[in-house]
Structure 1
Amino acid sequence: MLAVVADSPGPLAGALVVRDVDAPTAPGPGEVLVRMLVSTVNPSDAVTVSGAYGSRTAFPMVPGFEGVGVIASAGPGVPAGAVGQRVLPLGAAGNWQQYKRLAHSWCVPVPDDLPDEVACFAYINPLTATLMVERFCRSGARNAVVTAATSAIAQHLAELLTDRGVKPVGVVRGTPGRAVADPTRWQTVVRTDEPGWRERLRAAIGPRGVDVAFDCVGGDVGGDVCALTADDGVFVHYGLLSGRPLPTTCSTRQSGPRVELFRLRDTVQNDGDGTGRHLSRLFAPVFENLRRGRLRTTVGTRVGLSDLPRHLELPDSGRVGKILIEIGARG
């Protein structure tokens, strides 16, 4: 079968090769073989291929955390009727290949009324945004700040927050060609490449401070947003786009906001009974939102699996939307 492989750590553009590899062996007890239909590229794929998670990443590896496939065969102990079911195969990377073998408990059934190109993006960004807003945006919250406001997950956060009557303040780097998708969902957007941005952010927030902040940048920007979070507020840190950690003052202050480090992996892998039923419960509100046309991700480019490495080496300046990797047609 065809697979996109990273032989050693490195940048996503340049580290990948297309290879004809042995197909997985027949699924064992409790396992299934999933024929992949579509996948996509998420920043988590780039972080993993870079070698940042060295303690839990072995090379060579097949990247790809998101995707949709069909269960082609099942081993002993898998419920009857599983074969032919469309699923999200979670639990580990490996979706950039034609077939993936995994435990059936890691397969989330996809509702029949959601197309592949919609369900493909249901996992990392929509699920993370949904869980964080549910957990940390308390009733009565009056304001919010979201860093990296032009990112896909920030768009989801803004959508969910405005549903709760909170228009967030966005913080962006001011990258040319990048803008928030729907300005009506934001109170204002502050650019950190402009002089006086901290003062403008403080003015937009108000003297009391931020009730809830969602930061995936870290570094000085994350530290500044944390410092502007109210003492009874919560600062949620869930990424490190700057490559720099938060200042130590965020966690060592005698007083100040509650600092929460959110990792989707911890929630997804917290399977109390080992059946995977918690995954279906987690995804239920995400699927319902997608069904209503919400939390959607724009597809900018469609590429075949064999064309993916070459496509990732192209300049991404001005690229709009996500990549949809078309691995195989159903049937």
Structure 2
Amino acid sequence: MSKMTIPSTYRALSLGIHITDLKEAVSQLQVVEKSTPKLQSKQVLIKMEGAACNPSDLLTLTGSYGVKKALPMVPGWVGVGTVVATGKSPLTKWLKGKRVVCGTQAANEDGTWAEYFVTDYMMCLPVSNKIETAQAANLMLNPLTAIGLIDIAVKTKAKAIVQNAAMGQVGKLVTYFAAKKGIEVIQVVRKEAQVAQLKAEGNQYVLNSSDENFEKDLRKLSSDLNATVGLDAVGGTLAGAMLNLLPAKARWVVYGDLSGEAVSGFDPMELLYQDKTIEGFHLKNWLDQQSMLRIMRKMSMVKKLLEKGTISMQFGQEATIEDATDALRLYVEDMSNAKLLLKFN
């Protein structure tokens, strides 16, 4: 690439205060001018192309996410862009000029919701121009989360799984990767229109949690299919109620908190006498347990699937840094379907 002038300052979305109410928290975001930092040895400077907005980003705005950043801070966990400068370490040099998917889970780093982003070179992976901005921006998060969740089902030799938030992006990716492993999926949604949509997409087992026969149907179906793993992105009382209905030795895996409510409603006797368990899944922890070779293989597989269009993530809105706050307000009103993409070029 031709030599690019690195600006002394750049624009970013900044949050100065945490507010529990999500809509109010979004309103606190401001566009600020930041000084371009001097890079440490193993850091790279990325000119951002796009960044995804995920539920984990919104939890960061309210101060509810597991990784606590000092305020003021720039939100955003993942994105895509081009490396325009590197630190002195030879390990970083090969990334110069490359388009990369990138991210951070560090408490002391600004995030990806900015025109430029600094991170460790190990948090970057080159990506082809064949993958459009929206898909590349979220490549490091949703697909790997789905793979990690299915990894649990495979290791426990589950014949079937049940998942709520089945209409979400992770939910649909879970369905794809489960099918590749020969694992049946019981989909749980909240509206009859969602039942119809999922069945039209080829899903055989779809239940409406609002239906009066839901508990009876889930108990029978999970028993018939031996669904011993539950995947929960919602939380609340429904999570516990669903665990009560699963077969003995079932594992309930919590990976999200869309309801904003504590997981509850489970029967202690089910845990004591049916050997059921509740556990959490966080992508960073799962990645830390994998070898670098395995992670690279999984990422390579995901890139190929995205290039071919075999899998995809739905983005319903795009916003510039100037209109991000208004777009985020609309996004928080309905996070069950398409995501929000922030674009910087």
Q: Give me the TM-score of the superposition, normalised by structure 2.
A: 0.83
The aligned residue for residue 295 of structure 1 is: 311
Residue 32 of structure 1 deviates from its aligned partner by 1.0
Q: Which runs of 5+ in 2 are unaligned?
A: 1-9
The aligned length equals: 325
CA distance in 1, matches of 2:137, 2:103: 11
What is the RMSD computed on CA atoms of the aligned residues? 3.0
CA distance in 2, matches of 1:289, 1:250: 43
1:215 to 213, 221, 232: 232
Residue 15 (structure 2) aligns with: 6
- Structure 1 equivalent of residue 283 of structure 2: 264
CA distance, structure 2, for counterparts of residue 104 and residue 268 of structure 1:
16
Q: Which residue of 1 aligns with 2:302?
A: 286
CA distance in 2, matches of 1:44, 1:91: 12
Letter paired with 1:164: K
Tell me the secondary structure at the aligned position of residue 7 of structure 1.
Answer: coil
In 1, are the aligned partners of 2:198 and 2:206 still within 8 Å (CA)? no
Offset of 1:177 from its aligned partner? 7.5
1:33 aligns with 2:45: yes
**179 and 263 in structure 1: CA distance in 2 versus 1, 3 angstrom threshold:** farther
Which residue in 1 is equivalent to 2:123?
Answer: 106
The equivalent residue for 1:84 is 97
- Greater shift after overlay, 309-318 or 287-296? 309-318
Aligned counterparts of 2:60 and 2:327: Cα–Cα separation in 1: 19
Q: For 2:336 and 2:68, how far apart are their aligned partners in 1?
A: 31
Q: Which structure has greater helix proportion? A: 2
Q: Given residue 303 of structure 2, which amino acid in structure 1 is its aligned partner?
A: F
The residue that corresponds to 1:157 in the other structure is 174
Query: Which residue identity is paired with 2:313?
Result: T
- 2: CA distance, partners of 1:136 / 1:286: 19
Paired with 1:220 and 1:132, the residues of 2 have a C-alpha distance of 22
**CA contact 2:101–2:124 (8 Å) conserved in 1:** yes
- Pairwise mapping of residues 1-331 of structure 1 onto structure 2 (< 5 A)? 1-10=10-19, 11-13=21-23, 14-53=26-65, 56-79=68-91, 80-92=93-105, 94-138=111-155, 141-174=158-191, 180=197, 183-206=200-223, 209-247=226-264, 249=268, 252-269=271-288, 279-314=295-330, 316=333, 321-328=338-345
CA, structure 1 residues 134+277, in 2 after alignment: closer, same or farther (shift >3 Å)? closer
Contact 1:159 / 1:185 at 8 angstroms: preserved in 2? no
- Alpha-carbon distance, 1:41 to partner: 0.9
Give the aligned residue type for 2:12.
Answer: A
Mapped to 2, the partners of 1:320 and 1:162 lie a distance apart of: 21
Identity, % of aligned positions: 24
SS of 1:60's equivalent in the other structure is: coil
